[in-house]
Structure 1
Amino acid sequence: MSESEETFYTDDRWQNWLDRVAEEDLDPENEDSARLLLNLQDDTAIAVAKIVAAYDEDRLGEEEAIDELAEIRDIVLAEVEMDSEEKTMLIDGVQTSLVCVFYTAEEYVLGGPVEEGTVAEYVEAAAAAEADEDVDAALGFLVQAGTLIIDGEELPMDAVEDLEYGLVSEWVNGLDSLQSAMADPEVVEEDE
């Protein structure tokens, strides 16, 4: 398969996950339900990580990488209607977590890792921005943190544990999936 024909993600792949969620009797407190949602999120993060790796290895140019990321983003962030409001909300939570992953990958491809600061400093700045109700700044800080994570820095768990539940904690959850995907970009099996 030539590089230009490499498929990173498809509508069918996303739909298979959504079908699994639709079929399952989901309980967010249940470990299997939580794992299904995390696998769904991780699977998308792995596809994003593979695009970033293909870009880093010069198998994809900048424009191709951005186009591939946009294609996955359009698939994954499209509005989802489930038969239950709770499932729709759970999928929405996964989508929210992945927003930061997509922006991070785009920022990394276009500008590389941020020059200054640490992941922990950016997470703290994002939490402070969220507390000031500046959601755009909060997302911006986490995107910067994400470029460092792609570049090999670790997401410090102590900085994450103190986060209030909200958009920043959701986005950091996505960055955690991205970090795992960068470390081990193996496909999550849909039938686990």
Structure 2
Amino acid sequence: MTDDDAVETFYTDERWQNWLDRLAEEEIDPENEDSARLLLNLQDDAAIAVVKVLAAFDEDRIDEDRAVEEVRDIRDIVLADVEFDDEDKVMLIDGVQTSLVPVFYAAEEYLVGRVDDGDVSEFVRAAAEAEEGDDLDAALGYVVQAGTRVIDGETLDIELVEDLEYGLVSEWVNGLDSLQSAIEDPEVVEEED
């Protein structure tokens, strides 16, 4: 480790706020491709920040405690309550936040060495069954386990999402898709076109 790790910044309140400001200025229609892309970019940007923390940890630039703290800081920024006059935008941001929940928890689990044996698709199916049985804690746990496998290099088959009933598990798996995309291509999403 070097002294540089003291100044390495992975995500900031300002970065998140820039996305929110941009969202506030735009006419948002989730059916519109540009609007959908803006929301996806916002989600992917947070996932990329998490992946950069994981990479810094894997490359021994930061230790486990610092990495966990960084992931928690990103989580606190992204999951903070958002205030917009437009209720539809609040709901859309809530969807992005919901999708990112398992990304943060999977990253924390990975950092402390809790990567479970198993198959991503099995974990996702178990999560869907748990959601059907109204056991949302178990459902989230299974999605988080799937996320640790994705971080560990296993591929999430996005067709799994298409087979899921719309609900929390499908939103959470959508977040894992952003995580996988960030791992495959950890380039920063531009805040401005």
Whether these two folds match at TM > 0.5 is yes
CA distance in structure 1 between the partners assigned to 2:17 and 2:93 by the alignment: 12
Q: Which residue does the alignment assign to 2:55?
A: 53
Q: Which residue does the alignment assign to 1:113?
A: 115
Q: Which residue does the alignment assign to 1:4?
A: 6
Q: Which residue does the alignment assign to 1:172?
A: 173
Cα deviation 1:32-69 (Å, max 9, x = unaligned):
00000000000000000000111111111111011101
Q: Which residue does the alignment assign to 1:32?
A: 34
Q: Which residue does the alignment assign to 2:95?
A: 93
The amino acid across from 1:135 in the alignment is L
CA distance in structure 2 between the partners assigned to 1:16 and 1:156 by the alignment: 32
Cα deviation 1:96-150 (Å, max 9, x = unaligned):
0011110010010012421x21000000000000000000000000111001100
Q: Which residue does the alignment assign to 1:72?
A: 74
User: How many residues are paired up?
Assistant: 191
CA distance in structure 1 between the partners assigned to 2:40 and 2:146 by the alignment: 21
CA distance in structure 2 between the partners assigned to 1:50 and 1:183 by the alignment: 12
Which 5+ residue runs of structure 1 have no aligned equivalent?
Answer: none
CA distance in structure 2 between the partners assigned to 1:36 and 1:73 by the alignment: 20
Normalised TM-score (structure 1): 0.97
8 Å Cα contact 2:158-2:177 kept in structure 1: no
CA distance in structure 1 between the partners assigned to 2:77 and 2:161 by the alignment: 28
Structure 1 counterpart SS, 2:191: coil
Q: Which residue does the alignment assign to 1:16?
A: 18
| 1:158 is aligned to 2:159 | yes
Normalised TM-score (structure 2): 0.97
Q: Which residue does the alignment assign to 2:129?
A: 128
Cα deviation 1:78-104 (Å, max 9, x = unaligned):
000112000000000000001111001
CA distance in structure 1 between the partners assigned to 2:88 and 2:159 by the alignment: 30
More divergent stretch after superposition (50-59 vs 20-29) = 50-59
Taking every aligned residue pair, what percent have the same amino acid on both sides?
70
Which 5+ residue runs of structure 2 have no aligned equivalent?
Answer: none
CA distance in structure 1 between the partners assigned to 2:128 and 2:59 by the alignment: 34
CA distance in structure 1 between the partners assigned to 2:118 and 2:155 by the alignment: 13
How large is the Cα RMSD of the aligned pairs? 1.0
CA distance in structure 1 between the partners assigned to 2:159 and 2:30 by the alignment: 24
